[in-house]
């Protein structure tokens, strides 16, 4: 079997990991722009740790906290401009998937001031500035991928940028501390994103044995940790937080090469236009994706279900139980038809097992939204 595996990602995980590895951050440059959201970096304690680590080496820093959910290109451009104005020669993204992906986009814009708006999707000449990532959620796996998902201001649609210079020079995780402040809904939603990464990449036509092995390991961590918090008010204990974080990292490694399938492509419109959290927006499609995968990839699905110790219905019911309170829009036939053209050339659709035709896409939409 021919395949390629490339992942030059350095990840350090543990208690007090940022302060104990401050020299790694100091080795990236002499002035630093910190890219964060409005509150999560502060609440988690990660911002305090990062600034203390930089100050211990005499490195000036500045915070750009203008990143929202589903980060906009305009926010990334503004962060890139802020980095140039401050004279930053490296960046650190702190937070969940949105600040981490925004830091990647900002690193490109900082090094390529000629880029305007959506030009970033078409490539860039100068390598992105070096950057580090400090994750405070257990979902996207951005810490170990070359991918940033950024929202086009003009269209409101999310698109991926994926280039080798978007691997972090180093990523640092302290899940027992940094993810401890996450409320239950956000904990579950981000974990469901990691579950989606694992299942989609496992069945992708472009999957490889190494990536599938990572997907299985991710699910062996994520599913038990999520089962432990199925009660409405339950939160993970310290051990559960660590399992969810490690599961999200394995899931990032799983999809970084082969990419994802239709749940991510089709889920985007829910987070773009209806305010559904990204992980939930993808996961609502997972039961139908699993049904399709079992039909199209019998051997792969048998192996996966055997490793998980689950039947197909048990896996689907488990996921549906975690997304049961997601408010899905009711769409007319006309609104459904307007959605279909956006997926005609989607690589996620092409990677989906079998021939996932517009007719099959329409059937999925009708089942969920009518």
pLDDT digits (tens, 9 = 90+) for 184-210: 999 999 999 999 999 999 999 999 999
Q: What's the sign of the alpha-carbon dihedral 350, 352, 354, 360? A: negative
Q: What does the pLDDT read at residue 116?
A: 87
Taking residues 12-23, what's their average pLDDT?
97
How would DSSP label each residue in 199-229? HHHHH-TT--HHHHHHHHHHHHHHHHHHHTT
Domain-located, residue 3: no
Cβ neighbours for 138, distance < 8 A, ≥ 6 positions apart? 175, 179, 187, 190, 191, 194, 241, 244, 245, 247, 248
Q: What is the mean pLDDT of the chain?
A: 96
Q: What does the pLDDT read at residue 1?
A: 65
The C-alpha atoms of residue 296 and residue 82 are separated, in whole angstroms, by 49
Q: What does the pLDDT read at residue 292?
A: 98
Summarize pLDDT for 75-122 with one digit per residue, the tens.
Answer: 999 999 999 999 999 999 999 999 999 999 999 999 999 998 889 999
CATH number at residue 60: 3.40.50.1970
329: nearest Cα among 366, 274, 279: 274
The C-alpha atoms of residue 280 and residue 294 are separated, in whole angstroms, by 22
Residue 276 · residue 270 · CB < 8 Å = yes
Task: Check whether residue 131 and residue 188 sit in a common domain.
Answer: no
Chosen domain end from 178, 204, 223: 178
The C-alpha atoms of residue 261 and residue 263 are separated, in whole angstroms, by 6
The answer to whether residue 5 scores a pLDDT higher than 90 is no
Domain-located, residue 231: yes
Name the domain count of the chain.
2
The C-alpha atoms of residue 316 and residue 308 are separated, in whole angstroms, by 13
Chosen domain end from 122, 147, 178: 178
Domain-located, residue 6: no
Task: Check whether residue 192 and residue 156 sit in a common domain.
Answer: no
Task: Check whether residue 196 and residue 165 sit in a common domain.
Answer: no
Domain-located, residue 21: yes
Residue 218 CA from chain centroid, whole number: 14
Residue 135 · residue 171 · CB < 8 Å = yes
Mapped onto helix, strand or coil, the DSSP state of residue 294 is helix
The C-alpha atoms of residue 77 and residue 115 are separated, in whole angstroms, by 9
DSSP one-letter code for 72: B
Distances (CA, A) of 262 to 43, 44, 59, 200, 364: 34, 33, 44, 8, 10
Task: Check whether residue 219 and residue 241 sit in a common domain.
Answer: yes
Task: Check whether residue 136 and residue 257 sit in a common domain.
Answer: no
Taking residues 156-175, what's their average pLDDT?
96
Summarize pLDDT for 241-289 with one digit per residue, the tens.
Answer: 999 999 999 999 999 999 999 999 999 999 999 999 999 999 999 999 9
Residue 128, strand partner residues: none
Mapped onto helix, strand or coil, the DSSP state of residue 92 is strand
Residue 263 · residue 198 · CB < 8 Å = no
Residue 94, strand partner residues: 134
Summarize pLDDT for 41-61 with one digit per residue, the tens.
Answer: 999 999 999 999 999 999 999
Task: Check whether residue 22 and residue 168 sit in a common domain.
Answer: yes
Residue 109 · residue 81 · CB < 8 Å = yes
Task: Check whether residue 161 and residue 196 sit in a common domain.
Answer: no
Query: What is the domain range of residue 326?
Result: 184-369
Domain-located, residue 52: yes
Residue 278 · residue 195 · CB < 8 Å = no
Taking residues 15-30, what's their average pLDDT?
97
Task: Check whether residue 270 and residue 358 sit in a common domain.
Answer: yes
Summarize pLDDT for 312-350 with one digit per residue, the tens.
Answer: 999 999 999 999 999 999 999 999 999 999 999 999 999
CATH number at residue 339: 1.20.1090.10
Chosen domain end from 142, 162, 178: 178
pTM of the model: 0.96
Q: What's the sign of the alpha-carbon dihedral 167, 169, 174, 179? A: negative
Task: Check whether residue 203 and residue 227 sit in a common domain.
Answer: yes
Domain-located, residue 4: no
Structure tokens at 213: 């092995």
119: nearest Cα among 80, 72, 73, 184: 73
Task: Check whether residue 196 and residue 104 sit in a common domain.
Answer: no
Structure tokens at 16: 């007090």
Residue 179 · residue 136 · CB < 8 Å = yes
Q: What does the pLDDT read at residue 145?
A: 97
Task: Check whether residue 154 and residue 202 sit in a common domain.
Answer: no
The C-alpha atoms of residue 280 and residue 285 are separated, in whole angstroms, by 9
Task: Check whether residue 215 and residue 324 sit in a common domain.
Answer: yes
Could you give the residue ranges of the DSSP H alpha helices within 59-113? Answer: 73-86, 97-111
Domain-located, residue 2: no
Structure tokens at 3: 């395949």
């Amino acid at each position: 079997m021919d395949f390629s595996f490339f992942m030059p990602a350095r990840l350090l995980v543990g208690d007090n990991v940022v302060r104990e590895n401050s020299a790694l951050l100091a080795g990236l440059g002499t002035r630093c722009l910190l890219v964060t959201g409005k509150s999560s970096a502060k609440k988690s304690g990660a911002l305090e740790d990062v600034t203390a680590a930089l100050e211990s080496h005499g490195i000036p820093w500045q915070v750009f906290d203008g990143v929202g959910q589903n980060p906009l290109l305009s926010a990334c451009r503004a962060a890139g401009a802020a980095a140039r104005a401050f004279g930053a020669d490296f960046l650190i993204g702190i937070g969940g998937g949105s600040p981490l992906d925004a830091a990647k986009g900002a690193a490109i814009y900082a090094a390529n001031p000629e880029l305007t708006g959506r030009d970033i999707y078409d490539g860039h000449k100068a390598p992105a500035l070096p950057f580090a990532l400090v994750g405070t959620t257990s979902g996207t796996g951005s810490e170990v991928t070359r991918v940033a998902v950024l929202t086009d201001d003009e269209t409101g649609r999310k698109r991926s940028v994926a280039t080798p210079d978007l691997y972090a020079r180093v990523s640092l995780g302290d899940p027992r501390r940094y993810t401890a402040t996450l409320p239950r809904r956000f904990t579950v939603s981000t974990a469901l994103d990691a579950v989606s990464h694992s299942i989609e990449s496992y069945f992708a036509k472009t999957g490889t044995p190494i990536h599938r092995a990572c997907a299985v390991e991710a699910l062996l961590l994520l599913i038990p940790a999520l089962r432990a918090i199925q009660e409405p008010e339950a939160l993970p204990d310290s051990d559960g937080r660590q399992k969810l974080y490690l599961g999200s990292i394995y899931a990032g490694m799983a999809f970084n090469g082969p990419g994802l399938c239709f749940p991510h492509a089709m889920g985007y419109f829910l987070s773009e236009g209806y305010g559904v959290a990204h992980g939930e927006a993808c996961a609502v499609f997972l039961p139908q994706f699993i049904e399709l995968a079992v039909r199209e990839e019998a051997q792969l699905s048998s192996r996966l279900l055997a490793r998980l110790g689950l039947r197909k219905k048990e896996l689907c019911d488990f996921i549906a139980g975690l997304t049961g309170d997601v408010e899905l829009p009711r769409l007319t036939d006309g609104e459904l038809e307007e959605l279909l053209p956006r997926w005609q050339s989607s690589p996620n659709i092409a990677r989906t097992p079998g021939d996932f035709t517009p007719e099959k896409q329409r059937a999925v939409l009708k089942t969920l939204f009518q």
